[in-house]
Amino acid sequence: MDFKALSERAWEIRRLYERLETERYGRAWTREEVALGFMGDVGDLMKLVQAKEGVRAIPEADAKLAHELADCLWSVMTLARLYEVDLEAAFTSTMDELEAGVSGRLSP
């Protein structure tokens, strides 16, 4: 699946969540609430990182880590759409900037 297809799939899932949120709470989450949900995902990710580093005991940490990384990617793609950021273009330009910056600091 290419980036645009992944982003569209993420948005389809966001739309499902909006329906669920409306059924449960009478309204869909705001952009801020989606961002707060992402923070929870990042916290879960960090617990799994600790498990991989041997400082937490979490069964099936590898599978859970893969799941949580995908959750975080979904959140980033969703937030980009909510804030009208062309994430593919932003990623490409940011990687170009990082590459140039790191390359410029390397010894010849």
**pLDDT value, residue 58:** 98
Amino acid at 103: S
| Superfamily of chain region 30-103 | MazG-like (1.10.287.1080)
**pLDDT value, residue 1:** 87
**pLDDT value, residue 108:** 86
> Mean pLDDT, consecutive 10-residue segments, the chain of 108 residues?
96 98 98 98 98 98 98 98 98 98 94
Cα–Cα nearest to 20, from 28, 8, 12: 28
Residue 14 and residue 34: Cα distance in Å, rounded? 10
CA angle (103 as vertex; 102, 105 as ends), nearest 5: 65
* pTM across the whole model: 0.93
**pLDDT value, residue 103:** 96
